[in-house]
Structure 1
Amino acid sequence: MFVDPPIHYDTVSRQYLLNNEELVPRPSSQHRHMETHPLIPQRPQYGSEDEGLSHSRPEWTDIKAMQFWSDMFPEALARFKSTVTEPKGRAKTKYSIRILDDWDAVYEKLEKARAKYQSEGGRVGLLRKVRRKAADHVLPVAETTKNVTKIAPNDPYATPVLGAVQILLDAVKVAADVRNQVLTGFDGLIPAFSDVELFLGTFPRDVSVRNASLELTVATLVAIERAIGFFISNEFLKGLKAVGMGSHYESELLQSLGDIDQKSRKLKEEADKSHMFESHIVGKKVVTGMEGMRQLLTDHLIERDRQIAFEREMYRRDMEVSRQEVAYLQIENARLLNTACTPQRNMVPPHQDLDQNELRQYVDAQDIDMKDCAFAVDKTNEFPARERTLVEQIIHTKHFQDWIMSPFSAKLLVHWEGHLPKTIADISPLTLFCVSMTQILRANHRFVTGLWICGLHADPYESYAGGYYMISGDIDFDRIQPGQPGDIDELVKILELLVQQLPETITLFCLIDGVILFEREEADALPVLACLLRLAGDPNLRAAVKILFTSCVLVSRISKALPTASLLVIERGVAQDDRVTPALGFAPGFGSDIETNLLSTPQPNFENLMVSQTSGLILGGSSAVNYETWTRGASVDFDQWAEISGDRRWSWEGMLPYFKANETFVPSATQKGFQEENQDVHGTDGPIAVSHPSSSGKPRDYPLRQDMARFHEALGAKLVPENNAGSVIGYTEVAQSNYDGQRQFAAKGYPFGSNVTVWTESEVHRIEIEEQRASRVTGIRYSGDGSGRKGEEFRASANVEIILSAGALFSPKLLMLSGIGPKEELGKHDIPVKVDLPVGKNLSDHPCVSTKWTVNKKDASIGVGPMVTESCDWTAGPPMDWIAFHRAKYSTLETASQHLTANEKKYYSSKGKAHWECFTMYGPFDTSERPIKVDPPAGESIVSVFNILVFPLSRGSVKLKSSDPTDQPVVDPALLTSPTDKEILYDAVRSTTTAMKNLEGLDAVEYTIDKALRDDFSDAAVAARVKQGGSTVFHYSGTCVMGTVVDAECRVRGVEGLRVVDASVFPMPLGAHYQAATYALAEQMADMIVGNY
């Protein structure tokens, strides 16, 4: 419809832009209209992740699959052990549940006891079968006995005999009843614990719900322990007890089974109370939010009136000056013409305003959009209360308050991370916000409001469709000659002329919900949006024009979003290297000229090893040389990040849009159905292709795939179809940043815009800070400028910002060289202190111990057979299939808790938190520069097993070697200085070594360790494995930690114009490989930076 439309929606900058800049009047230097600010309210952290309006309750069929156990079980077991005495002698049997680490083991113990009790094999089992069948038919016999007793003579011989028979029959009946109740007493656990799973997820902070859930879990453990005692006790003794105790037989056991039902009912009652309380709170918040909106609008009117009074006074003064100037010129002109002239006092008549009521009747046709308002209100209850409350909190943000309170015209874009609507019924919570705001605005005669929420009206014959509808929503055409849908340009002129005549006491609010939907050509709405933007930017308007856009479209990168900015990228390494492009390009990286080749200080708790602390020395950094593993981490990691930083944008829900933005996801061939059904957690058009060995564009049918699946299952890991959706515990097919045999890395996926200058093989020496006030960066000092000149130092000035992304080892080095860091460290090297911050502290890395194994399958690892066959291309990616994440044993967590603060304990043992990781690779791989002491046997297939500690408690440091910028930093990761770290990693090595050694069908032999130690799992033997296979996996973080060194938007505290954007800002280790999280960090920061400008 439009060959050259006047306006388009820019998905990069998230703004409507005019295609012809001449349409917008150039503001003068005194132009006071505010610029557009993006505002991104975060989605709620609870409730369904389904983007639709319906939220169905999940149906559980397996108690063991429920998520709450990892958080609830340790506490419940501790309470159970402290309040209930263990039956005498039980601890010495194999049926004690008090030493177990998780619910799976407890339930398995119950099932084994039940199976033993129900066993009918052998002579004992046959007797048990006969006895129970007799007991099942005892009721009619008992009734017959009662009748016989009634007619029997009261004989001293007959009465005792019949009495004894009656006692025995009663005992058998009671025993049968007890047996049936115990065998069926646990059938209701699934619905009971489904309630626990649901209520804990719905009310995670409600102490009463948690306590009720805890009581239910403890009651279940009590019942299980007593039921196990019943199942394993001697049949003859149970018979005597039934005879002796009669109706009181196993009363404690039956009572404990009844307690489960009673505690389950109590949990439901507490959940009902919580629901009522939260509904009440939500209601109060909504009311409070609307009251806050009214107050903001009142404040706007106050500011507006003050501005009007100020402008009128300035106008009066200007007119007085003008009058005096005119009088002087008239006198001067008369003198020159020798004519007498009296100064005239006439002034240009003031602008004649239309009557305000008449203008409002023209411009404010309120009844047009009432149909859509009513439609939106009817759908209010279809949105979760938390989403409605969250959107109401927009009014508490600084951007919104600045926009609404300013006495001048202003524009604001509010972004809701959500699905793109496809039908008119598919409105967002922001729609409800716009409707509520409109209702408040229309209660005040000084506000004129235009509301558009129907960009989805696409039928040109519909009365509510297109630009004509938008205009008719603002103008009462009963008072003006009616226009036709085709007369858009004429109608726009009428709207513009009417708004130009609005008096200064009026504020026009234009609320456009789902703005991207109005840009379609069939909507015929672009000229109307262009008109509104012109009005909001017109410095000559007397009325203030406020425009609010809402959108569900994400932003992109800085260089594209700020095309007028001049950006300089300085890279210490080379521009490119052909070795990194193939998917196996990580292999030549170690010890080469495209890595930093930095070694740590000796590590006393890691067999005095100087571990490799290398990183990429090439454009694209470590993404060009890493192992390509693509794991995001657990949702709990990011929710804790948000808690530490005090900013929900870093929560799982806040980061998910940016995880999606950086990837083009190729589902696993084996899990394709599940991943396609859950595709809302993955991106489809990002710059980095993410695939799996079974779906990477080339055949990768590795011979050991099923054997390694059995290995992970032997470790107790369960197969999970997806570990990048927030839940990581278990094993899954690994996701990798490669496709079709090509590495996907930053320099390839994120090409720079034309406004970016890149200097490679150049090194920044320090950041310059303004001398007058140590708070503003002015530029950098560096050597090399891409021209090949070495040694000479140059200066580059920065007018806006400097963004430091040198990584967690080199970003702190540059800050300290610039005078930003611990004063005691800077003082050692005579560096003047600009800002005293704990830079370089809190270093975290993931320590790793790898073991190497020969297996009996032919050509099953890289390098021992053809590199490319019909079924397997060994060059297509890192040769591996699976990756697994595990929690530490309960006993280990309990020990660790004794050395942690309450806050640290909460983070360490949180539900869903991973503590160690395991994966296998097909070949003799090592993540260090240390040569393997024992060469792999020629022609043998090799498996490398990696054991990685992913949530270490140990913290190291990065320090300066000297003030010379060319010196490498001094890195001490302080590996395993925490006893808990050592215990978890050593346990992991023991577990994987045992599982690999005992894996059937492979004849696996650990060839890198002395034969005498292969069956030895003592600390000394594990230490020998550490010395042979100890390293890290280069996941450095925390040295410029968010919350102390930088704020929640990565700005260095105490310094204006300086940010750090890399893994050094991570506030705690993530249970993941870091490239996906680092990409998401950069994407979100690009969003924030663009929003600031």
Structure 2
Amino acid sequence: MLKNLALILVLSSLGLCATYSSINDVPKHHWDFIIVGGGTAGSVLAGRLTEDPRFNVLVIEAGPNNEKVLDSLVPGLQGRLPHSPYDWNFTTVPVKGLNGRSVDYPRGHLLGGSSAINGMVYTRGAASDYDRWAKVTGDPGWGWNRLQPYLKKQEKFEQPSDNHSIAGEFDPAVHSLTGTLPVSIPGFPHPSSDAVTLKVTEQLGGEFKFNLDWNSGHPLGIGWLQATIGHDGTRSTAATAYLNTHVRARKNLHVVTDTRVTRVLPTTGAKGLNIRTVEVRSSASSGPVLLTASKEVILSAGAVGTPHILLNSGIGDQEDLKILNISVVLHNPSVGRNLSDHTVFGISFGLEPNAIDEGPWANLFIDPELQAQALELWQTNRTGPYVALVPVDHIGFVRVPKDSPIFDQFEDTSSGPDAVHIEMVLGAIAGSYNAGISMISPASRGTLKLQSNNPFDDPLIDPNFYDSEVDILIAREGVKAVFRYAEAPAMKNITTGVLGPLANITSEEDIDNIVRDGSMSAWHPIGTASTSPIHADWGVVDPDLLVKKVSGLRIIDASIMPYVPCAHTQTAVYLIAERASDLVKEAWK
């Protein structure tokens, strides 16, 4: 009861802060910075920049306020967020590598952005992922060692909600207890299935060895899940952590929701290309409102939203823009290119009767009565299965075997020998043992283009999955890795065999076709406004994230990553925003 009262008081107090749902309600003001997008990166930037009382900041978010969005607050209700008002509800074009299928492309459409709708998995990737960024951009500040202070500043590792001992489940030496974003081990373990997974690590070792903490920069092996869920059993988002009640009360911060930035505009009469003005609309039928920042406009609309705004503003490939009758402001063919994303594909094994004791919540995902009971437990005292996402407590990271002929023919797609090719999300649910496999070091690159010159029309998203042959070969190896995992004695004693079309394969080509038919996006798009070295003839932003050949415009979000890390990308976005906040402060000190 007291926890409920506390939550109500917190949520009510948020209404006292400078958050508006219409641009017309925002007081006339002098803005030093206008942040386009109140998502993962934008929320971090707003919180950090307004630590300096000299800076007046306006955040413009297209989606609604995150306050009181129950499905986002409750980890176990995450499955209700796609196809909701809190999702942009994008769909890809037909993807050749998916046998011509179009797939959903969820992106967060509320304060907190995709951090408020994602699967909450907190992974950093390999140290070599970031060292590759540093090498390709020419800026050592993007390397693993140089980013460590920002990891500590970002993360606040907490005890899980059930207060169970986490000794042996993580390495405290690689975590921060004093940062901003709550992170924890799952607070509703599943002892029976967890025991099976841990037994496999003992029996097989090698590629399936136990890894005490795959967030050390050395992720290979199987370890305990870490997630952006706090000790209170509530999802942690960029908005709840960086735009909390205290931050939103700052006099130098204003946040407006339900408002679209449709274009960024050059300043007339300025020397060179100076862009510090944004055009905003509350709907497709409303008139435009122009707002100008004295220092910078910062695009933080994400890997889909940022290139969409740039292209509508006339910044992109001039031939594509001319076809749509968009005036060319700056020819840069890299805008909307280099789209990189992870795929995910599921494999299930049947279970012998009573092989795994799933307890009283075994039918949670199919029984509305159990779901109501779980929600009541969460609302009453933050306990029960809804303090976690799904009954998955372990993730494995593996590489293609060293003796595979793949890399005799193709260059290794990963960032280094300690980086990952395949992620395995492991656990039992609804009478089956499941492995969600992701191909997380892809070579394929896709595109984001406009379908019209109407900024309210969705962009044409083509992730181009499996376009590079090496990607489908690695995905095939991922299936084989799961089959090897299933050969462990601990698994053979409880499973009845693989389920679905993989039970009937007769060739490796059958595996490939099944993977193409079943894969979807893992919701980790990056790269559509990539960073490159200063003076490079490719890329969209310099290493300081200022747009090339433009004054006053900076991009800070997932779109600037030149390569996708072998990790769920939210951690990397938090890191980018933390470091970029310091870059901005330094530029205007």
TM range (shorter): 0.7 to 0.9
1:685 aligns with 2:182: no
1:859 aligns with 2:365: no
Counterpart-to-counterpart distance in 1, 2:170 and 2:224 = 12
1:1035 maps to 524
Do 2:200 and 2:208's aligned partners in 1 also have CA atoms closer than 8 Å? no
1:175 maps to none
1:847 maps to 343
Cα distance per residue 1:700-755 (max 9 Å; x no partner): 34431111234566583110111111111111101101023210111100123331
1:806 aligns with 2:317: no
Counterpart-to-counterpart distance in 1, 2:123 and 2:58 = 31
1:264 maps to none
Do 1:766 and 1:781's aligned partners in 2 also have CA atoms closer than 8 Å? yes
Cα distance per residue 1:115-157 (max 9 Å; x no partner): xxxxxxxxxxxxxxxxxxxxxxxxxxxxxxxxxxxxxxxxxxx
Identity of aligned residues (%): 27
Partner residue of 1:975 out of 461, 465, 472: 465
Cα distance per residue 1:458-496 (max 9 Å; x no partner): xxxxxxxxxxxxxxxxxxxxxxxxxxxxxxxxxxxxxxx
Kindly name which structure, 1 or 2, has the bigger radius of gyration based on alpha carbons: 1
Counterpart-to-counterpart distance in 2, 1:1051 and 1:1091 = 13
1:875 aligns with 2:386: yes
Counterpart-to-counterpart distance in 1, 2:485 and 2:182 = 34
> What secondary structure is seen at the aligned counterpart in 2 of 1:617?
coil
Post-superposition offset of 1:1092:
1.4
Cα distance per residue 1:647-683 (max 9 Å; x no partner): 111100111111111111136867636856x53x322
Normalised TM-score (structure 1): 0.44
> What secondary structure is seen at the aligned counterpart in 1 of 2:338?
strand
Letter in 2 for 1:1047: D
Counterpart-to-counterpart distance in 1, 2:46 and 2:558 = 20
Q: Unaligned stretches of 5+ in structure 2?
A: 1-44, 533-538
Counterpart-to-counterpart distance in 2, 1:1025 and 1:797 = 51
Counterpart-to-counterpart distance in 2, 1:916 and 1:1054 = 38
Do 2:414 and 2:420's aligned partners in 1 also have CA atoms closer than 8 Å? no
Q: Note the 1:372-771 alignment, pairs <5 A.
A: 557-576=47-66, 577-666=69-158, 672=167, 675=170, 678-679=172-173, 681-693=174-186, 696=187, 699-711=188-200, 714=204, 716-739=207-230, 740-751=232-243, 752=248, 753-771=250-268
> What secondary structure is seen at the aligned counterpart in 2 of 1:562?
coil
> What secondary structure is seen at the aligned counterpart in 2 of 1:944?
strand
Letter in 2 for 1:942: S
Counterpart-to-counterpart distance in 2, 1:623 and 1:882 = 20
Do 1:618 and 1:624's aligned partners in 2 also have CA atoms closer than 8 Å? yes
Post-superposition offset of 1:1026:
2.6
Partner residue of 2:278 out of 780, 786, 796: 780
Do 2:62 and 2:260's aligned partners in 1 also have CA atoms closer than 8 Å? yes
Counterpart-to-counterpart distance in 2, 1:571 and 1:909 = 34
Do 2:396 and 2:426's aligned partners in 1 also have CA atoms closer than 8 Å? no
1:991 aligns with 2:481: yes
Post-superposition offset of 1:862:
5.4
1:181 maps to none
Letter in 1 for 2:469: P
Letter in 2 for 1:1016: I
1:942 maps to 432
1:815 maps to 310
Do 2:46 and 2:253's aligned partners in 1 also have CA atoms closer than 8 Å? no
Counterpart-to-counterpart distance in 1, 2:576 and 2:396 = 24
Cα RMSD of the aligned pairs, angstroms, is: 2.7
Q: 1:993 to 1:611 in 2, by over 3 A?
A: farther
Do 1:607 and 1:1026's aligned partners in 2 also have CA atoms closer than 8 Å? no
Letter in 1 for 2:280: Y
1:518 maps to none
Post-superposition offset of 1:1076:
1.1
Counterpart-to-counterpart distance in 2, 1:908 and 1:919 = 19
Structure number with higher helix proportion: 1
Post-superposition offset of 1:921:
4.1
Letter in 1 for 2:275: V
2:400 maps to 888
Counterpart-to-counterpart distance in 1, 2:127 and 2:463 = 26
Counterpart-to-counterpart distance in 2, 1:779 and 1:700 = 50
Letter in 2 for 1:948: S
Structure number with higher strand proportion: 2
Counterpart-to-counterpart distance in 1, 2:63 and 2:46 = 26
1:296 maps to none
Do 1:585 and 1:625's aligned partners in 2 also have CA atoms closer than 8 Å? no
Counterpart-to-counterpart distance in 1, 2:290 and 2:556 = 22
Q: 1:982 to 1:958 in 2, by over 3 A?
A: same
Q: 1:1090 to 1:717 in 2, by over 3 A?
A: same
Q: 1:921 to 1:965 in 2, by over 3 A?
A: farther
Partner residue of 2:492 out of 1000, 1024, 1029: 1000
Normalised TM-score (structure 2): 0.80
Counterpart-to-counterpart distance in 1, 2:131 and 2:506 = 37
Q: How many residues align?
A: 505
Do 2:97 and 2:516's aligned partners in 1 also have CA atoms closer than 8 Å? no
Counterpart-to-counterpart distance in 2, 1:899 and 1:1001 = 38
1:1060 maps to 555
> What secondary structure is seen at the aligned counterpart in 1 of 2:304?
coil
Cα distance per residue 1:23-51 (max 9 Å; x no partner): xxxxxxxxxxxxxxxxxxxxxxxxxxxxx
Post-superposition offset of 1:1017:
5.7
1:832 aligns with 2:327: yes
Partner residue of 2:451 out of 950, 961, 965: 961
Counterpart-to-counterpart distance in 2, 1:556 and 1:614 = 24
